[in-house]
Amino acid sequence: MIEVDVRLKLGSFSLDVAFANGAGVTALFGHSGSGKSLTLGIIAGLTKPDAGYVRLDGEALVDVARNIFVPVSRRRVGLVFQDSNLFPHLSVKQNLLFGRWFAPRGERRIEFDAVVETLGIGDLISRSPTLLSGGERQRVAIGRALLSCPRLLLLDEPLAALDMKRKLEILPLIERVRDEFDVPIVYVSHAVEEVARLASRVVVIDGGRVKFVGDPADAFNRLANSPAMNRFDRSSVLTGSIVEASAPYGLTKLTHPSGTIWIEGLAGQPGGVARVIVNATDVVLSLLPPHEISARSVLWGRVANIQFEGPIATIEIELKEDGPLLATITRGALEDLSLKEGSHVYALFKTAALDERSIGVANA
Amino acid sequence: MQDFLPAAFFELSPAEWTAIRLSLRIATVATLVSLPFGIVTAYALARCQFPGKTLVNGVVHLPLVLPPVVTGFVLLMLLGRKGVFGPSLAQIGIVFSFRWTGAAVACAVMGFPLMVRAMRLSFEAIDRRLDMASQTLGANRIWTFLLVNLPLAAPGIIVGAILAFAKALGEFGATITFVSNIPGETQTISAAIYSYTQVPGGDESAMRLTIVAVIIAFSALVASEIIQWRAQKRLGRAE
């Protein structure tokens, strides 16, 4: 259980952030300069707040009112930076074991072999970190933090410095870390896909203030409605249950209370849950049940809200038991279909438009 | 050629050997004794904020800009037989005046700014986020210093030590002012060369010692280059 309630003034910037979460991944989400990394620094002990407290499992790491400040080295929080910051004078193995040596003997519960296996870094351990690629370095950095057997793992935009291919390699590894090692994680990011995929709770921070705390679907659906979002950034998070993996085609079928979603790949087990991020620009609307059309994911819902932006309209479609689905279409199409608030529509999207980044799976 | 430079030219006389041995001993002791102080001072100047930092920085660098004779004279006033601390040090058996140990003190003081400068630069070049990483992994400041800063600054520390060693070999002004020029006790290579040039027929000895001094100094510089190059290669920064 992590509880944060801190205030800090730095020049003209003021931070006032409070949230709490139990196990799983808490995402601090916001633009750069929003104060999310600063919050992480306060949790880690690299920055002292002016007021407030950070508590981990009830124990104060910092509590200004009670004059408590546990030094960084005694907090036992693993921190992974954007650029991995491995020790260049040590081998990968020595880097991995660095923190383990300082962990109290009785609390070295995370095993070296398990971490190496999970992160797939077995072939790297005798190498020098200076000879690793960016993705390899980041995997070692995550392993190093894990092996210090931390009570809390802090990830500060761990994928931001990597290209798309590497991101897609590491994202599932972070999911495995989340599921296999029982360490709560605070994950700082400004990437919707990462957060939607990993987090069980999202804290949206803007201008040093918490704008929203809740589950990812709510957070992003709310964000998507904010006028500041570009239409290409608008997306909705849908949650479906896995029905079957259709092996011959390499697809997985999800049921959603409002319809059916097909995703690429054989993901998860039947009964599990998958979260899908759908870009508003990828959604097509139809008044009739679609047939003889290639788009296979179809959901039926009610138009709840229409917003205009020049010739473009963003339509919020209310679905059963899930957050709304956003669709951007042209004004012309809107008038041809005579859509109004309250109309019922079929929303279609292409399975091929959902890339790996936008699909997260949790087994039941 | 044979007449101009007889083979005997290359044979060092016992007096010359004494000066060389003494120089090496003084330089080695001066370097080793000042090494820990140099490392701590360089780390403090590079990484810590404390009141009077500018003053400390100034005092450390003073011997670099003062005339060496002035430094020697200040040492004489502080540590000499009749100096401020001399008598009390003498009571506990530590005497510097006219002893080789005094020459080592003079050399250490003169070499200190060079040593600290090289070390400070290499401490400053270490990414602070490595310190943070080390601390979040459970290492306190002392362990972080020993396991991260010290090994990463090692090339700079060695280069600083070599510079101080070379400086100590060549030190003249402060040494001769503080502990005079006594053969076998405080007469280093530089002082011996100076003495030989003052007596008729001493030119040959002076020339031999000059060659020795050039060889030692040059070896020290080459050694420091090699160490730096190898360290950079090891850390993957070689071009």
Mutate to test the interface with A, among B136, B140, B142, B145 (most CBs of A within 10 A): B136
Structure tokens that stand for A255 in this block: 């049921």
Does the beta-carbon distance from A44 to B137 stay under 8 Å? no
User: Which stretch of A7-11, A165-169, B189-193 has the lowest confidence by average pLDDT?
Assistant: A165-169
A229-252: b or e for each residue (b if 16 or more CB lie within 10 Å)? Answer: beeeebbbbbbbbbeebeeeeebb
Q: Using one digit for the tens of pLDDT, what is the confidence trace for B204-233?
A: 888 888 998 888 888 888 888 888 788 777
Specify the pLDDT at position A18. 92
* CA pair distance A276, A296, nearest whole angstrom: 15
Of A83, A99, A154, the CB nearest to B137: A99
| A contacts of B132 (beta carbons < 8 Å) | 44, 46, 72, 79, 85
Q: Which of A87, A101, A148 sits opposite B130 (nearest CB)?
A: A87
Closest CA to A309 of A331, A337, A325, A327: A331
Instruction: Examine the pLDDT at B26 and tell me if it is beyond 50.
Output: yes
Which tens digit of pLDDT belongs to each residue from A65-119? 999 999 999 999 999 988 889 999 999 999 999 998 888 888 888 889 988 988 8
Of A72, A81, A131, the CB nearest to B135: A72
Residue A35 falls in which region: left (phi positive, over 0), alpha (psi -120 to 50) or beta: left
Q: Which residue has the higher pLDDT, B117 or A308?
A: B117
Residue that wins the pLDDT comparison between B88 and A59: A59
Task: Note the ipTM here.
Answer: 0.78
For residue A247, pLDDT beyond 80: no
- Tell how far CA B43 is from the center of its chain: 18
pLDDT at B6: 59
What digits encode the pLDDT tens for the residues B156-170?
898 899 889 988 888
The arithmetic mean of pLDDT across residues B116-140, rounded, is 92
- What would the CATH number be for the domain defined by B12-234? 1.10.3720.10
pLDDT category at A229 given cuts 50, 70, 90 is low
Residue A348 has pLDDT above 50, yes or no: yes
In chain A, the N- to C-terminal Cα span, in Å, equals 23
Q: Which residues of B touch A145 (CB under 8 A)?
A: 136-137
- Residue spans of the domains in chain B: they are 12-234
CA distance B31 to B21: 15
Contacts of B147 in chain A (CB under 8 A): 98
The verdict on a CB contact (< 8 Å) between A87 and B143 is no
Domains and CATH numbers, chain A: 2-214 (3.40.50.300), 235-362 (2.40.50.100)
Q: Is B236 left (phi over 0), alpha (psi -120 to 50) or beta?
A: left
Closest chain A C-alpha to B133 CA, distance in angstroms? 7
Residues 116-175 of A with CB under 8 A from B: 128, 130-131, 144-145, 148, 154
Kindly report, residue by residue over A199-227, the tens digit of the pLDDT: 888 898 888 898 888 887 777 776 666 65
The per-residue pLDDT for A267 is: 67
pLDDT of residue B239: 35
Chain A residues in contact with B140 (beta carbon < 8 A)? 71, 73-74
pLDDT digits (tens, 9 = 90+) for B43-70: 999 988 888 889 999 999 999 888 999 9
Contacts of B129 in chain A (CB under 8 A): 81, 83, 85
Residue of B nearest to A77 (CA): B136
Among A211, A175, A177, smallest CA distance to A196 is for A175
CB of B172 closer than 8 Å to CB of B191? yes
Q: In sequence order, what E strands does A57-116 have?
A: 59-63, 68-69, 77-80
